[in-house]
Amino acid sequence: MKVPDLSEQEKAFVEMDVFRSYIKWRNRFALKIAAFHLCLVFIFDLISYSYPELMLVPVWPESAITFSLACVIYVTFSVIFSAFYYGHKVNKESSKIENIPRESHNNV
Amino acid sequence: MFKIKQYSVVLAALCLFAFPVWAAQEVKVNYASIVTFLLFLVMTLIITAWAAKRTKSREDFYVAGGEITSLQNGFAIAGDTMSAASFLGLVGLIFMVGFDAFYFIISLVVSWIVVLLFIAERLRNLGSYTFADAVSYRLSSKPLRILSATCALAIMIPYLLSQIVAAGTLVEGLFGLQYSHGVIVIGVMMMIYVTFGGMMATTWVQIVKAVLLLGGGTILSVGILFLFNFDLDELIKSAITVHPRGIELLKSGGLYTDIISIISLSLAFIGGTAAMPHVLMRFFTVSDSSQARGSAVIAVSLVAYFQIVVLIVGLGAIVLLVDNADYSSGGLDIVGGSNMVGIHLARIVGGDVFMGFISAVAFATILAVVSGITLSAGATISHDLYSNVVLKEKCNETEEVWIARVTVVVLGTLGIYLAIIFEGQNIAVLATWPLAIGASTNFPLLIMSMYWKGFTTKGALMGGSAGLILAVSLLVMSPNIWVKVLGNSEPIFPYAYPTLFSMGVCFLFGWLFSVTDKTERARNERHMFKAQLVRSQLGG
């Protein structure tokens, strides 16, 4: 067990409000996206097993694109969109942390 | 250092070895596939020669010196995920059963969002070369590395074997080359890439293959849509009309008939993908956590896009191959089995040349994936076991890399030997092992060690061991092995995947033995969580 101790500068930095609120925001943001997609997977599993006929319902009258295909396409694009949105938001928010001058870490 | 001239000799030897064998075969040889594959070999050997010059240190060998960009790494990670199983296998599955293949597609895509959100960055900041570095960051290194290495090898060896056997079988059908010669070619090439080029060569081989596979898949799906005037509705209606299941094609029940197997399958994909040692290792090849995040974003997008391609190709295969007398002996009985569906379809859409291209890409896919697995297995044995456990971190860099290279050669030779022995055996069951074991061991260990303050060494050992033992035992007792391989009439464990139980037990034991651990060591480990948390956020 060789966990390096935090330097005084790092200790001060992690106690800063801006850092703490960033971590809190980020954890919640990640949890929301993950929970949404995991729910999609397991709800899809449960519905497809419990109400298989529902999977055959067309998304609009006379269409061959059924609810099951729509789910696959929706989940796939939702994942792509969420990944880019997450990456973009985190880049934006983390730049606030990175832009804090190193010296100011000691001024907390 | 290995010189380009020597590579030319190796390549010439391979060609001399391969061509007479091809010439001696009586089966119809597709020269387009041979030319495409030889071009791939030449290109990858040039890459390996270039990478070998840059591979000087341990860091270079294991993680390409951290010089890979997020774009490159994203393609390499996506390439690792887009294996032959996820292309030829999934297309074949859509062709055979329809809807139940959607479980695979959805859970595979969502697994990558889990990697992006919870694993990529923290893993990059806490580890150096293997995922065991991150798991044992504040916990007892020696027992955890032994456990992690055992789990990693339990995942990688069956995975490696199943891929090499699949390659040998594919080569027989596609290139007219004998099974054993195909296995030897893939084994030797894999050893050359990894031994001399390390992670740099393995990454670039994977990138080249990913581009070829994405390009080939895109052309194939556009070709199918072109045949239906880009009308998806028309494509689906035609598929429903010709498939023996009719409209039931888009309804569950073709493969799985119980909810436990369905949820276990989803958990296996979600947890298992996030726990593949050779995929996790790629996050150490970038310079920092933001690059790791970028890699994961790109990988997620490419993998998700590829699943749409697979869906279109699968539906197209139903329309164009069911009851097609040239490729089917009636209904869904396809020449060469369901894994050949994508290859036959390529011939219908683009003729012999395009079929040759797709065949060569499929073979290249296996070659690139086995290289990544072998490198990761080499790192596990040399870094985790030899350097950290046996020599207690007193091993010098040169010796460690040498051990890794020897491991790669031994594993490659063993893989070739076992693949020849397993010729004709039902090895498809081996493909279910890696995901189920990864989801039941590595995934819970990674998540709990990085996110839960109360997690202790005792909890990790008990949880990981219980998950591993239960996953392996239930897999052996499942219908895939107990009935199909061992020939018993009824399975002891009735479900296809054990993940719901084995992953649950790993989390439960990890929690239970951690909260009841009142030792001084456990107190220290909990105390060190804050420092680990900061490192996982800031790196350094």
Contacts of B292 in chain A (CB under 8 A): none
B300 touches chain A (CB under 8 A): yes
Of B140, B237, B300, the CB nearest to A64: B237
B90 touches chain A (CB under 8 A): no
Q: How far is A108 from chain B (nearest CA, A)?
A: 17
Of B118, B139, B307, the CB nearest to A76: B307
Cα A30 to Cα B169: distance, rounded to the nearest angstrom: 43
pLDDT of residue B1: 44
Cα distances from B336 to residues B56, B163, B193, B333, in angstroms, run 45, 17, 30, 9
Is A79 in Cβ contact with B109 (below 8 Å)?
A: yes
pLDDT of residue A2: 61
Cα distances from A38 to residues A55, B16, B108, B113, B495, in angstroms, run 19, 52, 11, 9, 22
Rounded to 5 degrees, what are φ and ψ at A79?
-65, -45
Q: How far is B113 from chain A (nearest CA, A)?
A: 7
Q: How far is B486 from chain A (nearest CA, A)?
A: 30
* DSSP letter for each residue of A29-44: HHHHHHHHHHHHHHHH
Cβ(B91)–Cβ(B315) under 8 Å? no
B531 touches chain A (CB under 8 A): yes
Query: pLDDT digits over A1-10, tens only?
Result: 466 677 777 7
pLDDT exceeds cutoff 50 at A105 = no
Chunk chain B into consecutive blocks of 10 residues (it has 540) and report each block's average pLDDT, rounded to whole numbers: 49 48 54 80 89 90 93 95 82 90 94 95 91 91 91 87 81 76 87 91 92 94 94 93 91 88 93 91 93 95 95 94 85 81 90 86 85 91 89 81 92 90 66 86 95 95 96 91 85 92 97 96 92 82
Q: How far is B442 from chain A (nearest CA, A)?
A: 19
Burial B379-410 (b: 16+ CB within 10 A, else e): bbbbbbbbbbbeeeeebeeeebbebbbebbee
**Bridge partner residues of A58 (DSSP):** A66
**Which residues are CB-contacts of B44 (< 8 A; sequence separation ≥ 6)?**
B189, B193, B201, B204, B205, B208, B367
Terminal CA-CA length for chain A = 30
Terminal CA-CA length for chain B = 32
Q: Give Dmax (Cα) for chain A.
A: 68
pLDDT exceeds cutoff 70 at A104 = no
| Residue B53 CB neighbour total at 10 angstroms | 14
Contacts of A77 in chain B (CB under 8 A): 304
B413 touches chain A (CB under 8 A): no
Q: How far is B499 from chain A (nearest CA, A)?
A: 14
Closest-approach residue (CA) in chain A for B522:
A1
pLDDT of residue B426: 57
Write down the ipTM of this complex: 0.89
A84 touches chain B (CB under 8 A): yes
Is A82 in Cβ contact with B110 (below 8 Å)?
A: no
Tokens of B10: 């190796």
Query: What is the three-class DSSP state of B130?
Result: coil
* DSSP letter for each residue of B354-420: HHHHHHHHHHHHHHHHHHHHHHHHHHIIIIIIIIIIISTT---HHHHHHHHHHHHHHHHHHHHHHHH
Q: Checking phi first, is residue B67 left (phi over 0); if not, alpha (psi -120 to 50) or beta?
A: alpha
Cβ(B526)–Cβ(B453) under 8 Å? yes
Cα B87 to Cα B75: distance, rounded to the nearest angstrom: 16
Tokens of B425: 């055996």
Q: What is the mean pLDDT of residues A75-89?
A: 95
A residues 19..78 contacting B (CB < 8 A): 23, 30, 33-34, 37-38, 40-42, 44-46, 48-50, 52-53, 55-56, 63-66, 68-69, 71-73, 75-77
pLDDT of residue B2: 45
Mutate to test the interface with A, among B99, B306, B528 (most CBs of A within 10 A): B99
Cα B241 to Cα B239: distance, rounded to the nearest angstrom: 5
Contacts of A18 in chain B (CB under 8 A): none
Mutate to test the interface with A, among B242, B290, B297 (most CBs of A within 10 A): B297
Is B138 in Cβ contact with A1 (below 8 Å)?
A: yes
**Which residues are CB-contacts of A102 (< 8 A; sequence separation ≥ 6)?**
A9
Query: pLDDT digits over A30-63, tens only?
Result: 999 999 999 999 999 999 999 999 999 998 888 8
